[in-house]
Amino acid sequence: MAWYERLSAQDASFLVYEDQDAAAHMHVGGLSVYEAGALSSPTGGVDVERFRAYVASRLHMIPRYRQRLAAMPLSGDPIWVDDDHFNVRYHIRHTRLPRPGDERELKRLAGRILSQRLDRRRPLWELWVVEGLPDGRFALVTKTHHCMIDGVSGVDISTVLMQMTPDETATEAAPPWQPRPMPSATALALDELKDRAKLPFELAAATLPLLRDWRTTAASLRANLAGLAHVSGLAWQGAAQTPLNRPIGPHRRFDWTGVDLADAKAVKNTLGGTLNDVVLTVVTGALHTFLRRRRVNVDVLDFFATIPVNIRLPGDHEGGTKVAAWFAPLPLDVRDAGERFARVHATTSELKQQAHADPTRYLFKVADLGGPAALRAVVALEQSMNPSNLIVTNVPGPPFPLYVLGSRMVSANPLVTLLANQALGIAVFTYDGRMQFGFNADWDLVPDLHDLVLDTERSFADLRRAAGLDGAASAAGARATAASAAS
């Protein structure tokens, strides 16, 4: 039976971002490192064919990974259809590091892979198996288009390929899969005409409950108008001009570092905040040092971070994007790490208490009704209203080790996309006792990215000292790391 599915306006917006900016790559993902384990081949490399067979056996759990983009014939709205030429070998690539195969070479390779756009004629994902690391380890570089997943649903998808014990090394046969045919152009056009004919009735059906419960509707309207006024006020002043806020190119640098999660939790418990406050404080301290080194006067800088906020309901494991955004000022002018944490915590507490909603979600609802032209207008409006200097996203992962066919995942370093005039994006992922910072940056505008990585490590050390945790916390972190390594 013929099948297709429309993209939501928010998911389709990531395609529009790419269409409007030749330097934009709207894929998310990251790089994870694994012990060799049972995936070792007799020649000492990675048994890639076995890995491909394993991934193929799990794809029925993530149907979107065998679907490609198509377009409605009248409106041009993007839709998902089954890929009748799906080939898992195309999506799972295999490469090797040049000798000596160290972390520096791995970061350079990851940057080159992440600089390449995904081919829209095929399902929008790639998975690169990278061998040649020390001690027989290998890495996986993942790229999945943002229109398919957000950070939270991406974790759900990754668990489809991951296992919780090293004993599961058998690969089951892939279930039979038959791609459903795409409807004919005539059938799609008729569907569009029917949808347009039903639109007045759907609007009426959606409006009647709002009229009945007018008090709630009025409160929601006030909240969204307040949200729009808040964002418009920030947009009026515009994003602060820094060396990180210039037109970006297509090439990327990717770097990472990690801190002990037990230490981070000890800091937030001592200072009275959240892990997200720890992340933002560490980033603020690192940017303070980094920008001062670039001769930026941080004392007069209104520097804002976009913080994606999960609006996915409990139990919702569908793909697609379900996030809103905070716009948080980062106190780059503060030199003391303890005071910096207090300022960040006050900001995030205020954002949680604000009554107004995120207006961009409602703009996308309007775009759902208006078609591609309306969506392009909403994306252009959203970009013009963006007062942010960078994205900082924090996604919680599992607190226990995961495996792929008996090979333990040692580290997981996340990737966030770069938007227009934002040469840096920072993603954080917690996994198995570690908090991993992933840094995505424009190749030309941030040649000193690794200096920022080192600044991040020093900023976390400053925050630990401000919390008075130099001795106890590091000992607790060492015990947790040792226990994790032994498990």
Would you name the residues annotated as active-site residues? Answer: 146
Contact predicate 232/385, CB 8 Å: yes
Contact predicate 10/364, CB 8 Å: yes
What's the one-letter identity of residue 256? W
218 token code pair? 């009025």
Instruction: List Cα–Cα distances, 11 to 77, 80, 310, 422, in angstroms.
Output: 12, 11, 15, 20
Spatial distance between the Cα atoms of 319 and 157, rounded to a whole number of angstroms: 8
Instruction: List Cα–Cα distances, 308 to 229, 260, 469, in angstroms.
Output: 19, 23, 30
Q: How does DSSP assign 286-351, residue by residue?
A: HHHHHHHHTT--GGG--EEEEEEEE-PPTT---SB--EEEEEEEE-TT---HHHHHHHHHHHHHHH
What's the one-letter identity of residue 31? L
- What is the distance, to the nearest Å, from the Cα of residue 478 to the centroid of all Cα atoms in its chain? 29
List CB contacts of 176: < 8 A, sequence separation 6 or more.
none
Q: For 485, list phi and psi in degrees, rounded to 5.
A: -65, -30
Instruction: List Cα–Cα distances, 313 to 250, 309, 317, in angstroms.
Output: 35, 12, 9
